[in-house]
Structures are given as structure tokens and as C-alpha cells.
Amino acid sequence: MNLLRIIAALLAGLSGKFLAHGAVGEGDPHGLDEPSPESLEASPLPYREIISWLRSSGAVIPPSPEVHSVTTLYNREAIVPPQCYTKTQAFSNPCYVCHQAPVAGRENVMNDMDLQEAYSFSEPGMRNHWENLFEDRTGRIAGISDAGILDYISQDNYSELPGRLKAANFHGWIPDLRNLQLAAAAFNEEGFATDGSQWLAFSYKPFPSTFWPTNGSTDDVMIRLPERFRTDGSGRESADIYKANLAILEANIKGLEKIGCLPVDEAALGRDLDGDGRMGIIRRIADVRSYVGAAKGEFLGRHLYPAGTEFLHTVRYVAISDSGEIVPSVRMKEVRYMRK
């Protein structure tokens, strides 16, 4: 049984508790009835063993029991997030985040805006499987001191992660951005990682999610384009080429015809990107129709990232700086990686 299946099983409800009562319509119409305390005990033995192991083990990779994934996967509609079971009461509407009418020129052509009102779930999806959200943690929280919390979230659990994954013979991506636990201190004033790994931290528009300080989390996002977007025709790395391609990509993701950029020397590119007829240091690109450098001629599609684009995303606790500002904690809740 592979690691991805184990992760899928765990994401189906990390508390190990699932609904045992009736489907939506047999109580709360939004599936937020009080949970059954017998849920974990009713779970298959392999699943209970995984939950017990996670609560007691410090290993970096979850176990892989010798059973079929069907035995451990309890939530067959884990793609339906908890927000879908919100008590909307004709007031709250998290549904708009995913379900929209089509917009000309955009990639989302689902045209499923009706799902903001309709409760069109599959039969398994009609039950709210995210039962861990109902757990009353008041008592446990009361037993944790402020000092204990601050001490815990200030501990570094990232620096040793690459070594632990290698020692465990992990075959997936190994974190390669050094000092990421230091958050902003791991990047220069332009947002590039100071370790030379070519990761770039970028600003993004806040969107309804669970990673907001109001919900106890902060997060960040980094992007890294493939090598051909960072080098010239001879394979030499070029910061100017990389910055220009990042800006050109951003413009096409946003559907813009021109965009501001980090300082770029057009002479290093051999291309007049701002259209002023001169080769100089520019901070705006007016020609976003194609990439530069070794990626010249690469397919460029509106709202599409190039093949090989990597994203790195950490979810952290909410820490408080000496000046009282909300900042990312040193300790990380999650380290997420994706490669197109």
C-alpha cells in the first residue's frame, strides 16, 4: 500500500472519528449533528492502529499496513471539504469559492453556480465525515499554559526533516530550501531564497481558507520555475532571465497584457521588453507574449503554469513578535510540495 493512499486515508479524518448516525435529512440539514462517540471503536482495526501509531510515534513517515486501501479509507468523499457542510442559514456562503458561473477568458468553465444553493452530493458525501471538528477541546486547551504554547511553536522541526526523510528512504521530494524555518529571513529583499535554491516567495491575494490567523494558522507559498526558465541558451544561470520569465508568467496567469517586474537588464536578454526602443534596466514588461532565455519558444498558455513548475507551501502556527505583530512560527504544522 503506497504512501499516498495512507495519506488519503488519514486526511479522511485525522481524529479517527467518523459519522455513525443518519445521512443529511435525518437531523441537521447541513450535516452538522453531534457526532457519535462510538465512531472510532467502529472503525476497521487497521485504521485504529494507524491513528494510535500517529499519536505515539515520532517517525517521519506513516506506517503502511498490509491491507487494501479500501480497508483504511473511510471517507470516500474526502474531496468534499468541511466548508461544504456549513450551516448557511441563507447568510453564510463559502460555496462561492469553488462554484461559479463561467467568465469569458478564464479556464473555469464548469458553470456550476447552482451548487451554491443545491445540495447535490453523492450518497457517501451526504454524510459529514469530518467528525474531528466536533471534538470539544476546551479541557485540553485549559491545561496548556501560554508559556508552553510559545515554547512549543518556537521549536525548529524543519531543519532535520531532509535528513530524517533520507534516513527513512523516502522516495518523494526532499526539502531543499535551507533555513525556511526562519521565514522571511531565508529570503532576500526581492523574495529569492538566499541559499541559491532558486525558490521565490511571493505575495498572493487572501482567499477564504483554513490557513488564516483567525483560525490559528499562518502560511506562505514559494514557486520555482524549471531550469530552462532560469538560464540562457548556453545553460548559464541568469537572474535577469529568471525575473523576466516570472513576470511574464504572472501576467499570463492574471490575464494581463503588461505587468510590473523586479529590475531586469534588457541587455542580458537581448529583447526590448518594455517597448521603449532602448535596452536598459526596466521595471515593467509590455511584451508578455513569449518567454526569454532558454525557455524562448516554450508553450505559453493563459492561466497555465509551465510543465515542471514547483510550489512549496508551509502551514504554521500563529506566533507573536516582540512588537506584538502576528508572524509565522518557527515550528511548522505542514510542509507541502507540488510539481506540475
* Residue-wise pLDDT tens digits, 189-218: 999 999 999 999 999 877 777 777 888 898
My answer on whether 27 and 171 are in the same domain is no
C-alpha Rg value of the chain to the nearest Å: 24
Domain of residue 33 covers: 3-135
Last residue of a domain, one of 135, 162, 177: 135
Tell me the β-bridge partners of 285: 259
Min mean pLDDT across 65-74, 172-181, 315-324 is at 65-74
One domain, residues 332 and 188 = yes
Averaged pLDDT for residues 217-225: 94
Top pLDDT among 19 and 224 is at 224
Phi, psi of 13 (to 5 degrees): 155, 90
The answer as to whether 199 is a domain residue is yes
Concatenate the DSSP letters of all residues of 97-126 into one string.
Answer: GT-----TTSS-----GGGGT-----TGGG
Does residue 104 surpass a pLDDT of 90? no
- Same domain flag for 129 and 168: no
243: pLDDT confidence band, cut at 50, 70 and 90? very high
Residue 39: pLDDT band with limits 50, 70, 90: low
Nearest to 99 by CA among 88, 89, 108, 86: 108
Same domain membership, residue 326 and residue 211: yes
User: Is residue 95 in a domain?
Assistant: yes
Amino acid 164: pLDDT: 95
Element (H, E) at 200: strand 200-201
Percent of the chain with pLDDT over 90: 53
Q: Is residue 143 part of a domain?
A: no
Model confidence at 87, in pLDDT bands (50, 70, 90)? confident
| pLDDT tops 90 at residue 8 | no
Residue 225 or residue 140, greater confidence = 225
Asked if 161 and 288 sit in the same domain, the reply is no
For residues 286 and 255, membership in a common domain is answered with yes
Q: How high is the pLDDT of residue 69?
A: 66
User: Model confidence over 154-189: pLDDT tens digits?
Assistant: 999 999 999 999 999 999 999 999 999 999 999 999
Decide if 144 is inside a domain.
Answer: no
Q: Do 217 and 316 have their domain in common? A: yes
- Judged against a pLDDT cut of 80, whether residue 127 lies above it is answered with yes
Q: Which three cell numbers stand for residue 83?
A: 466548508
Q: Report the pLDDT value the prediction gives residue 106, as an integer from 0 to 100.
A: 76
Q: Look at residue 47 and tell me if it is in a domain.
A: yes
Boundary of a domain, candidates 87, 108, 135: 135
Q: Would 268 be classed as within a structural domain?
A: yes
pLDDT above 70 covers a percentage of the chain that reads 84
Residue 285 sits in the same domain as residue 326: no
- pLDDT for the residue 35: 42
Average predicted confidence (pLDDT) for the chain: 84
Q: Is residue 239 part of a domain?
A: yes
Region for residue 88 given its phi and psi (left: phi exceeds 0; alpha: psi -120 to 50; beta: otherwise): alpha
Whether 8 and 126 map to the same domain: the answer is yes
Considering its fold, how many domains does the chain have in total?
3
Same domain, 122 and 194: no
Confidence band for 297, pLDDT divided at 50, 70 and 90: very high
Total residues belonging to the chain: 340
In this structure, the answer to whether residues 218 and 319 fall within a common structural domain is yes
**Residue 141 domain-assigned (yes or no):** no
Residue where a domain stops, chosen among 101, 135, 169: 135
Crossing angle for the helix pair 45-56 and 3-11, nearest 10 degrees?
A: 90
Same domain, 89 and 180: no
End-to-end C-alpha distance for the chain, whole angstroms: 24
pLDDT band at 262 (very low <50, low <70, confident <90, very high): very high
